[in-house]
Amino acid sequence: MNHLEPGQLVDLARSLVADDEAAALRRHLEECTRCRTALDRLSLVVRATAVDSMIPTAALREVESLADSWEAPAAGAIGGRLVFDNVLAPREAGVRSLSPDRHLLFEADQWAIDLRLVRSDRALSITGQLANAAAPTRGCKGVAVLAWSTAGVVGRGLTGSFGEFSIACPDVAPLTLEIRSSPAITIGIPPARA
């Protein structure tokens, strides 16, 4: 008995075979367990890959945002203005501590950017949230956030459903955070305290 060629099985699994040819191939499959098993396995693969075509458009936008070219900072970016820095606003006596984190708040156009910086052993963890002050109920999901050094992109993240993001990167100076909102925002990350 001659078995079906792999190409014939793939075409059959993908429903790319003409009806008259498919009938002849199916007759062979009724008699041949080996080819039927191979077709069943290929059919599973075809169904699994078809699921990929049902990816939500929001997820595709997020992936495309992450895949954008990051060879250079965004043109026309606006600078964030520092509104609050916990280092510059010492806490009252009795409340002070040697907290390893730094809390910063920036404003840029209609955007507010809240950042927490935690440094440890030449590494920097940036946790933040992007909020649109002009439309606070509208989410900021799927915005790319990049950490730039003179060497290029050293960390990246994507905002979640509430505009939250997290980036881990080396603690290098100078370091710039770029938020690819509309318009893009750049923020200079202050160096570690001396």
Read out DSSP for 94-123?
TT----SEEEEEEEETTEEEEEEEEEETTE
Q: List the pLDDT tens digit at each of the 194 positions of the chain.
A: 688 888 888 888 888 888 888 888 888 889 898 888 888 888 888 877 766 556 666 665 665 555 555 566 777 889 999 999 988 776 666 655 555 689 999 999 999 999 999 998 889 999 999 999 888 877 788 899 999 999 889 999 999 989 999 999 999 999 999 999 888 999 999 987 64
Delimit the domains of the chain by residue range: 6-52, 59-189
* Residue among 131, 145, 143 nearest 73 (CA): 145
- Token pair, residue 156, equals 């990246």
Tokens, residue 155: 């960390």
User: If one looks up domain 59-189 in CATH, what number appears?
Assistant: 2.60.40
How buried is residue 176: exposed, middle or buried, by Cβ count under 10 Å (0-12/13-18/19+)?
Answer: middle
* Tokens at 34, concatenated: 């080996």
CA 12 – CA 34 distance, rounded (Å): 15
Q: Are strands 123-132 and 164-170 parallel, antiparallel or unpaired?
A: antiparallel
